[in-house]
Chain A
Amino acid sequence: MSVAVASGGGFGRWADRRFKYLLILPAVLILLLVGVFPFINILIVSFQDISLIFEDRSFHGLLNYKRLFTEARLWQAILHTVIFTLVALPLELVFGLLMALLFLEPIRGRQVFLALLIIPTVISPIVAGATWRLMFDNQFGPINQILGWAAGEPVPIIWIVQKGFVWPAILIAEIWQWTPFMFLLLLAALSNVDKSQVEAAQIDGASNLRIFFRIVLPAIKPVLAIVLLIRALDLFRLFDVVWALTQGGPGTRTETLSTYAYVQGFQQFETSYTSAIAFVVVVLLSIVVVLALRRVEIAR
């Protein structure tokens, strides 16, 4: 992995101030327009009391913020999101790493394998969700059929409804879609590990496990950090696959923070309450993201 060398040094002398600000102006304006201005609006709305049946634009203090703490369904959704992230992320990492190790040594047709294996990651998450809804379908899906062959009798599981099956179904879809992402990036990181160090350690008689933890892991750590950060933030916003498979159901069993906010904002029309949720999430995540980005390699 090469790190770009800062090359701005000699430029500042003749940098025309107006030119450099002119260049960033349109982009920053659009980002402010879409990223900051609406948040001032939801901050105001979150202190009011607006919902489908009721519109009170007077100041209500922390009414909606207090509700955040008492709404059990919100905390259940957050819990689902956190647990799902904690389960899916390590699984994707381990599967991705194993696949990367498989393809690390030269293998004929490697480029073809890579081009095919990346497909799940680049297709639309909604298509992926629809695909798995079909795969798990109890009539038209092949999964129950295959399980039926193995069991020797018809398997009547209704994956996207039955307790104990609905989360695994979402998990499988998510892992299927994002393990190739981990795989590809870890493969690239592993390919860049200095081979001479590994060979030297092998000559010294170090065990493979020791070599992995002492040489390989420290070398790929910066990539690992950024990949885990990207995926953790992705999982935290989990929406599309859940929406395509279960819409958060049955009941609220598979509700995530994003599907919950969607239902509150766009189906129940709890405008002020949803504004409070959105505002808190934006503030907390912005802090987390900025702190994390400062630490990882990506911020040069």
Chain B
Amino acid sequence: MTAVAPATVPVYTAPPWYRRAKTWQMVARYAVAVGLTIIFLFPVYWIFIMAFKTPEEVFASPPIWAPSSLQLNSFRKLFQDGEVISVWNSLVTAGVSTLVAMFFGTICAYSLARFRTGGNNLAIWIISQRMIPPIVIVFPIFMLYAALGLIDSFFGLIVLYTAFNLPYVIWMMRGYIEDIPLELEQSALVDGWSRWQMLWRVVFPMVKGGLFATAVFAFIFAWNDFIFALVLTRTEVTTFPVKVTSFFGQQQTFWAKIGAMSILGTLPIFFAVAALQRFIVRGISLGAVKG
């Protein structure tokens, strides 16, 4: 075998027309991307600025695209009229139910992931619970709650949100737990730790990211819920989406209040989603796409 002299590789430079075409393509893609973003965000902008308009600007027709000043009166009115309590109600019901669902859901997920408890059938039954339309879930629950006196109670709504979020939490956490290696848990047990110590000190810290992401999504699902709260609340526990619909009147719709309430109900989600970028794809696809 004689050594073959390495062929000299010519340095390839793209011809100028090619680079120009590439640049133009990039500009075009950029323009489309920006245009799309504007289209998707414009409606949100439109409802949000309602909160900052003066009453004259709110009811101007044809509508005004940008208010001349940023009024905070609509927020003040939400506080004065006591409607802002609905945001607090949402926070309590979504927050408490998320914590409960996270705890019971994660330990259940651990059992499913590591011991294959109930096999695939139990797991499929659990996730199928989530895919039934809420209206047919809430109808029998309404009858049950009416009999138990749980209509318009924090306890009743929290129990339902917990049950609603459990399948999601179990399903997601099962996936996250399956992703972590088994060896640490084995050595923790060999070292004489109890199983609960192992869960708290080894497993939960290892799936911290997944726990956090799942909790935020569970919170958002409960926070955004309308139909359960519509059926099961009257005056005391009204959540913010139900309050929003109460501003639609026969004669007049209170757009400024709807705008202000939308901002209060949406801002927490903006921050949560911005913090969660890495987990969004997995979180909304029920774990089917791992980003």
Interface residues of A (CB under 8 A from B): 1-2, 4-8, 10-12, 14-16, 19-21, 23-24, 26-28, 30-31, 33-35, 37-39, 41-42, 45, 99, 102-103, 105, 107-108, 111, 113-128, 130-135, 139-142, 145, 148, 176, 180-181, 184-185, 188-189, 222-223, 226-227, 230, 233, 236-237, 239-240, 243-244, 257-258, 261-262, 265-266, 271, 274-275, 277-278, 281-282, 285-286, 289-290, 293-294, 296-300
Residue of A nearest to B144 (CB): A38
Say how far B160's CB is from chain A's closest CB, in angstroms.
6
Complex: A11 Cα to B114 Cα, angstroms: 7
Complex: A243 Cα to B43 Cα, angstroms: 18
B111 interfacial by beta-carbon distance below 8 Å: yes
Task: Say whether B139 contacts A42, CB under 8 Å.
Answer: yes
Task: Say whether B44 contacts A30, CB under 8 Å.
Answer: no
Chain B stretch 100-134: residues in CB contact (< 8 A) with chain A: 104-105, 107-108, 110-118, 120, 122-129, 131-134
The binding surface of chain A is classed by DSSP as helix
B166 interfacial by beta-carbon distance below 8 Å: yes
> Which residues of the partner chain B approach A38 to less than 8 Å between Cβ atoms?
140-141, 143-144
A-binding segment of B9-17, B54-62, B67-75: B54-62
Complex: A236 Cα to B132 Cα, angstroms: 10
Chain B interface size, as a band, is 35 or more
Q: Which residue among A10, A134, A271, A286 has the maximum number of chain B CB atoms within 10 Å of its CB? A: A134
Interface residues of B (CB under 8 A from A): 26, 29-30, 32-33, 36-37, 40-41, 43-44, 46-47, 50, 58-63, 65, 104-105, 107-108, 110-118, 120, 122-129, 131-137, 139-144, 159-160, 162-163, 166-167, 170, 175, 178-179, 181-182, 186, 189, 195, 220, 223-224, 226-227, 231, 240-241, 244-245, 248, 253, 255, 258, 262, 265-266, 269-270, 273-274, 277, 280-281, 284-291
Say how far A98's CB is from chain B's closest CB, in angstroms.
10
Task: Say whether A107 contacts B224, CB under 8 Å.
Answer: no
Task: Say whether A266 contacts B231, CB under 8 Å.
Answer: yes
Q: A24-B107, A266-B231, A289-B131 are in contact. List 14 more A-B contacts (CB 8 A).
A: A6-B178, A8-B114, A38-B141, A102-B36, A105-B29, A116-B40, A125-B226, A130-B244, A131-B46, A131-B262, A140-B255, A184-B281, A261-B135, A281-B136
Partner of A23, one of B59, B107, B186, B248: B107
Complex: A124 Cα to B290 Cα, angstroms: 24
> Which residues of the partner chain A approach B160 to less than 8 Å between Cβ atoms?
34
> Which residues of the partner chain B approach A4 to less than 8 Å between Cβ atoms?
175, 178-179
Say how far B14's CB is from chain A's closest CB, in angstroms.
16
Task: Say whether A126 contacts B37, CB under 8 Å.
Answer: no
| Given A4-B175, A119-B273, A185-B289, A24 contacting B37 (CB threshold 8 A) | no
Task: Say whether A293 contacts B47, CB under 8 Å.
Answer: no
Task: Say whether B63 contacts A140, CB under 8 Å.
Answer: yes
Task: Say whether A123 contacts B33, CB under 8 Å.
Answer: no
Say how far A201's CB is from chain B's closest CB, in angstroms.
22
Q: Which residue among A21, A39, A102, A298 has the maximum number of chain B CB atoms within 10 Å of its CB? A: A298
